[in-house]
Every structure is written in structure tokens, then in C-alpha cells.
Structure 1
């Protein structure tokens, strides 16, 4: 059985290793069956908004703005758990997906497999 260290939200953000652009990758996993749904990037503001609202919010690298998954589609990602890896430079967010996660209307953005 693995040991999970629990931190308060205000402590948690300050332990993370954001990259030179102030971003950290976030792997989104279905909290039920643990399927990987998508990967996005967060900055400190989007992570704090995620913690405050319970809905996953990313930093859009292309649009250079915050975006909450589901804000236009209604396909929300509701946070259940947030983990960090041992280097504290990647997040794993377990979420309940309300509707398809991918903009292609598929459950997961990972729908292509190498033969």
C-alpha cells in the first residue's frame, strides 16, 4: 500500500515545480475507471481556480488565457483528487467527466493507438 502525503491547498501550490513558462502538465484521469482523458497545462492561477471551484481550469498555451473545461460545451471535469509526482513537476487530477472530454466529442483525447 502506498503512502500518500496530504497537504493543504495553500501549501500544495508552493511545493510544485512549474517550468520556465510558469506551467505544469496535468494528466486528467477518470476517477471511476482510471482511464486517461486528456493532458492540459496549468499555471498557479488556473490551479488555484481549480482548487477553489472544484472544476478543472487550464492555461491555454495557444489562446494565452485561462479556460475552464466545459465553459462552452457544458462538459465539465469535476475534481475528485489531485496528486503530484515525486519530482512535483506533473499533476494527476482524478475527475468526474460530465460528458465527453475531447473537443472531438470522444470520451478521451487518447483515441489513437499505434499498430
Structure 2
């Protein structure tokens, strides 16, 4: 098996790429995180999601503290190769607040604008 070509990824100026994390079977968006090349390599070789913490400046593997693990099912790039889509099998809540996703109950109250015909 050949290693993926990580040079294809358009890392930002900090050497990071955003990662959209999605439950593989329901397609629910679970969270947004960040990876650098090392975090992605650890994820690809270990089979569990590893991210880069911008606030703590360290790697963290999802579930090592909480027990709420993410087993990686697939990894893809978007059309610009600057965003990673990680499809996972989430065990337990994805959010550190204990909710199933990091997007539960935080709607901005947007009301669609009616287009004039």
C-alpha cells in the first residue's frame, strides 16, 4: 500500500487545514477541527482521528480523555484541496459539551430572504 501524497494539500500559512468531521452513516456534521501533516499522518496510520489544538499547541487524539472515540472510515479532500472531510464512526458524543455534535442548538435565527420575482 502506498502512502497518500500529503503535498497535494493546500495547507494554510500556519501549516494547517480545516477538517470537517462527519458521521459516516448518517452524514451528520459532528465538528470542525484542524490538522497539520503530522496529525493527518497519525490519523491515516492509526485509524483514529488525531487533531492539532491551536489553543494548546499540541496533538490530541479524539477520545483519549473522554472515551468518545472517532474511528476513521474515509478521508477526502475538497475541490481546492484545502479542506479535509473525515468520515468517522463516532462512539459517544462528539462535542466536549456532551452533545452529539458541536452544532446542536446554536442556530443564529436566520430567516431566509424572499426573492422578488
Please, what TM-score do these two structures have when normalized by structure 2?
0.88
Which 10-residue stretch deviates more, 8-17 or 92-101?
8-17
- Which residue does 2:27 correspond to in 1? 34
What is aligned with 1:58? 51
2:12 equivalent among 19, 39, 51: 19
> How large is the RMSD of aligned CA atoms in angstroms?
1.2
Larger mean CA deviation between 41-50 and 11-20 belongs to 11-20
The DSSP-based 3-state class of the residue aligned with 1:82 is strand
Moved over 4 A (4+): none
Aligned equivalents of 1:43, 1:9: Cα separation in 2: 20
Q: How many residues align?
A: 108
TM-score by length of 1: 0.90
1:11, 1:103 → 2: CA distance? 30
> What secondary structure is seen at the aligned counterpart in 1 of 2:3?
helix
Q: Which runs of 5+ in 2 are unaligned?
A: 110-117
